[in-house]
Amino acid sequence: PGNCWAFKGHQGQVVIKLPARVYLTAITLQHISKDVSPSGTIISAPKDIAVFVSLLGTSGGVDADREEETLLGVFIYNVEKNPTETFPLKNMLLPRAFSHVKLLVKSNWGNPWYTCIYRVKVHGK
């Protein structure tokens, strides 16, 4: 507990550069459970989440730094369920491989000072 990636407030984002282009199928998010929390609460867990993908910088042309994102899913991380939750992504709408994944946290479960993420796993081929 406490060994997490924390960001200030209840909103934040992280962009993950993948080692190769990946056809994404799911994303897994992990937080600690109430049972192991020193305070007995997990209000710092993310709640409303959106997942985007990008081919950032892959065109090589003048617009290489222009970010074009595609939304692959909007989810609610449920603190009453398993601390590790996997969410299927809607890559069928845009069946191609991507090099960047953005996890956007829109809210948490009530902590006004910070939000914690313990692990993010990206699944795909």
pLDDT, tens digit (0-9, with 9 covering 90-100), for 43-56: 999 999 999 987 66
pLDDT of 120 strictly over 80: yes
pLDDT at residue 61, as a whole number: 47
Q: For a pLDDT cut of 90, what percent of the chain falls above it?
A: 64
Show the tokens assigned to 8.
Answer: 């200030």
pLDDT at residue 40, as a whole number: 87
Query: pTM for this one?
Result: 0.84
Could you give the domains of the chain?
5-124 (2.60.120.260)
Ramachandran area for residue 40 (φ above 0: left; ψ -120 to 50: alpha; else beta): left
pLDDT at residue 91, as a whole number: 65
